[in-house]
Each structure stands twice: as C-alpha cells, then as structure tokens.
Amino acid sequence: MAFEFIDQALEDKARDALQRRRTCIDKVSARHIQVDGQQYLNFASNDYLALGDQAISGDFVAGSKSSALVTGYQRTHRLLEAKLCELLGYERAMLFASGFGANFSVLSTLFHDNKAGQDSAMFQDKLNHASLIDGGLNSSAKLVRFNHNDMGHLRARLEKTRVQNKLIVSEGIFSMDGDGAPLHELKSLADTHSAWLMIDDAHSFGVCGENGLGSVESGVRPDILVITFGKAMGCQGAAVLSSKRVIDYMVQFNREYTYSTAMSPALAKIASTQLSRLCDSGSAREVLHRHITHFKALCRDAGIPVQASNSAIQPIVLGDAQSTLNAQQSLAQKGIWLTAIRPPTVPHNTARLRVTLTAAHQQADIEYLVECLKEVI
C-alpha cells in the first residue's frame, strides 16, 4: 500500500516515547495555564517579562495585503525597523513573521549563489536552534559544526578552512540548555580569521544586559543580529539587523521575504508598543533574575541537578524520554505545567524537563515547584 512509511514512522515515535501531541489551551498567562478546565502553575512560557499579559489598545489594520516588495511594506513597518536600529545600533533592519523564518531564510539567502557558496563556510555551534541548522543545510556554503561553546574546537575548524567567506553562527542564550555563548571569544576568533559573526538573540533580548538589550550590551556587536518578538516582547514576529549592504542583499535575493505576504501592520504596531514596554521593564527584569537565583539555590539545596544556566531557561536533564514524560505527568497531577523536551529537539539520552521562569511568578510558586520536583525526580 502506498505511503505505508507514515504508519511505520508514527509507530516508531510512539514506541520510543517520542511522539508529539498538541495540547489545546483554554487560557494562558505568564504565571498560570488552564487546560480542560484545570488550572496549573505555568513553567513553560517564554514570556519572560509577562509583557504578553498586558492589554493592547488602538486601531489596527489587520492585513498588509501583499508582499513587502509590492504594497505590503508600510509606514508602520518602517517605523518599527527604525526604532530597532536606533535602539540596537544597526544601519538597517528587516521584519519577518517568525524567528524560524528569519534564521532559515537569511542563512539560505546569504549563501544562495552556488559559485559564492563554493568559497564559503558556515561554522555553527552543535546546539544551535533547528532554524539555524536548517538554514545552513539549505545554503550553498559548507556547513561546519563545532562542539558546544568550545572555542578551541572552533579555532581548529577555522584554521583548517581555506575558503574566502566565513560566518560563525551561535545563539546568545541557548534555547534548550539556557547557557550563554562566549560572545567576546567568538568575536575575537571572527576578527582573527576575517569571519563574520551572526547571533540569534531570541532568548537573550529583553532579559540580558543592564537595559535588557541582549548580546549587544556585552560590548559585542554581531555582523548579523536576529531578535524575535515572541519571547520577552510577548508578541509575534522577528527582525534581522545588519549593515545597509547586507539588508539590501536580502531584499534582492531573500525568497521568503519576496514571495510572502508582509507582516501584518497590526503585528508591527503591537511589536512597537511591546518594544517600548520592554525598554521600561527594568523592575520586571530584576524580579526575574531574583527568581532565577532563588530557584537555583533551592535546587542546589534539594540536590536537583540543574544545568549551568543563569538565564530564565532552567533545564533538568533526566536522560530517558519515557522517564521524562512520566515526570512531566506526575508534576501535572500536582498542578505544575512544564514541558518534557525529547529528541530530536535535544541530543539522544538528554531528554529533560525545561523549566522557564517569568517575572509574573511569585516566590511561593517557585518554592512549590522545587518541592514537587524533589518528590518526582
């Protein structure tokens, strides 16, 4: 029978405890989530500053009506791009509907030309997000992986290559481990080897840095910076920031940007509002970082093996996929909602409970979470 591979693949996923299911959510906030009428403490949200819980008012135009290169690029989009450029110190910006789309299409486009790709290489951290890896695989450049945050391994890879065009790609804060990239060392290696540096700042922007501006506040300015609006900004979309030269190149050759209806003006206006709120959220960032410190201290005292993360992402690696699912289900019975992350999202034998903390949580919520984790693990 045709397409029997579908049934076999689904059976394999179920057998290995790797089957994914969608959960229909009744209501959700940065602190609580309601599923099938049952309320839980929500430790699975990326809305780190709880900005997504704040109401938005105003007159919005729902649709952009066409591609950005036809009539879809409107004043609302240009104002948001200018605001981002001024805030982060870049010449130009380009808006996308999602962070995945931004990462994938930018990397695909930068090395889309076969002739240029033969003299190009992309050096990616092995724990980079799927959108970055897939973008690299879809390009004409050679994709070279280096061990996670291992600057010695990256240096050896760079020294071995003989190509003209080199791009180092990393996340600012890694989405599944919660640790940060060594930005200064990455930039130093890039400068030494005449390479460019690209950083996906999805989980850093809004949270890291004195003003919440992410990686650029470390004193490192990547050649290409990607920020997403669906995490700390609490809305939807993404932006790529770079030089005028690079953004002009993207406008000419980025197929997703050319052949997709432009981001809704409503989403762009909401993003602009949320960006202003993010800049004014210093107190929320302070609360969030106190929660992170408190959670890590409680886990240490309870003997719970958290990773070396100082971000809002606090993974607890259990290894086995089925054991991780069992732990997730036990926590749900205690009123705790979080995510069991399994391969292929993470490497085999590193299935984990991914705890995410937000400024909306209360100290008592975190203490209850740790007590439940202690009982379940």
Sign of torsion, CA 326 327 329 330?
Answer: positive
Asked if residues 268 and 33 have their Cβ atoms less than 8 Å apart, the reply is no
Nearest to 312 by CA among 204, 217, 240: 204
- Neighbouring CB atoms inside 10 A of 252's CB total 11
Which secondary structure element, helix H or strand E, spans residue 35, and what is its range? strand 32-35
Catalytic residue among 166, 203, 296, 361: 203
Cα–Cα dist 377/305, whole Å: 10
User: How far apart, in Å, are the Cα atoms of 31 and each of 52, 152, 305, 336, 347?
Assistant: 11, 41, 24, 11, 29
User: How far apart, in Å, are the Cα atoms of 321 and each of 111, 326, 351, 365?
Assistant: 37, 9, 5, 26
Catalytic residue among 47, 81, 125, 171: 171
Catalytic (active site) residue 175: yes
Catalytic residue among 32, 129, 187, 361: 129
Catalytic (active site) residue 46: yes
With a CB cutoff of 8 Å and minimum separation 6, the contacts of 301 are none
Q: Is 115 exposed, middle or buried (0-12, 13-18, 19+ CB in 10 A)?
A: exposed
User: How far apart, in Å, are the Cα atoms of 155 and each of 28, 145, 225, 246?
Assistant: 44, 12, 22, 25
DSSP state of 218: G
Cα–Cα dist 19/10, whole Å: 7
Q: Side chain identity at 354, as an amino acid letter? A: R
Nearest to 140 by CA among 167, 158, 160: 167
Tokens of residue 377, six digits: 């693990």
Catalytic (active site) residue 200: yes
Q: How far is CA 263 from the centre of its chain?
A: 19
Catalytic (active site) residue 129: yes
Catalytic residue among 200, 201, 223, 365: 200
Catalytic residue among 32, 42, 45, 46: 46
Catalytic (active site) residue 103: no
User: How far apart, in Å, are the Cα atoms of 168 and each of 101, 226, 232, 318?
Assistant: 19, 14, 25, 31
Angle between helix 151-160 and helix 183-192 axes, rounded to 10 deg: 20
Catalytic residue among 175, 204, 254, 260: 175
Active site (catalytic) residues: 46, 129, 171, 175, 200, 203, 231
